Structure 1
């Protein structure tokens, strides 16, 4: 069993973050006889999962849904996030291609380059 401070330190976050996660329903914790939160191994593992999902970009409502006992609800949220990330990867790859071309472009001004104009029209 760990106190909220011990759990937060182990996770590398502040105690108020754990309280917030509990408040919004992304984390469940037990209380001791004095009403203090206690973190057993299961609660700590759940907090690690929330932390990982936050780091990959899920919002707390998405995390709550992704951790739902109903697998289909969890899969829907995760699939939506995967699609959003794939879309972001594509946008960044296009940005890299455009910037690489501008570095290598033989034209003095980008407006003079038909390839640059094509990149601009595609955006």
Structure 2
């Protein structure tokens, strides 16, 4: 059993983040008789899951959906995030290819280069 401060320190985040996650429904934490949050093993594991999902790019609404009890709904959110990340990877690779060419381009101005013009039109 840990306090919110201890749990936050273990997770490497601020206590207000844990409170916010609880407020929006991404985290469920028990309270003691005085109303203080108690972070048991289950709450810590749930917080670790929320933290990991946030770090891989899911928004809090997506985290909540991904942690839904219905697997089909959770999988749909995760599949959508995978598709978005894959699209981002493609865009990033295209940007790298274009920038590598501009570094190696023999033309003084990008407008003078047929390959650069081709990259520009590919938008």
Shorter-chain TM-score: which interval? over 0.9
Question: 1:6: Cα distance to partner?
Answer: 0.4
Q: Which runs of 5+ in 1 are unaligned?
A: none
Q: Could you tell me which residue of structure 2 aligns to residue 20 of structure 1?
A: 20
User: Which deviations, in whole Å up to 9, do the C-alpha atoms of 1:46-98 show, x marking residues without a partner?
Assistant: 00000000001100000000000100000000000000000000000000000
Aligned residues: 123
- Within 1, Cα distance between the matches of 2:108 and 2:36? 67
Question: 1:15: Cα distance to partner?
Answer: 0.5
Q: Which runs of 5+ in 2 are unaligned?
A: none
- Within 1, Cα distance between the matches of 2:19 and 2:110? 52
Give structure 1 regions of 4+ aligned residues with deviation exceeding 2 angstroms: none
- Within 2, Cα distance between the matches of 1:61 and 1:110? 43
| TM-score w.r.t. length of structure 2 | 0.99
Matched, 1:79 2:55: no
Q: Tell me, what secondary structure is at the counterpart of 1:82?
A: helix
Q: Could you tell me which residue of structure 1 aligns to residue 10 of structure 2?
A: 10
Q: Could you tell me which residue of structure 1 aligns to residue 68 of structure 2?
A: 68
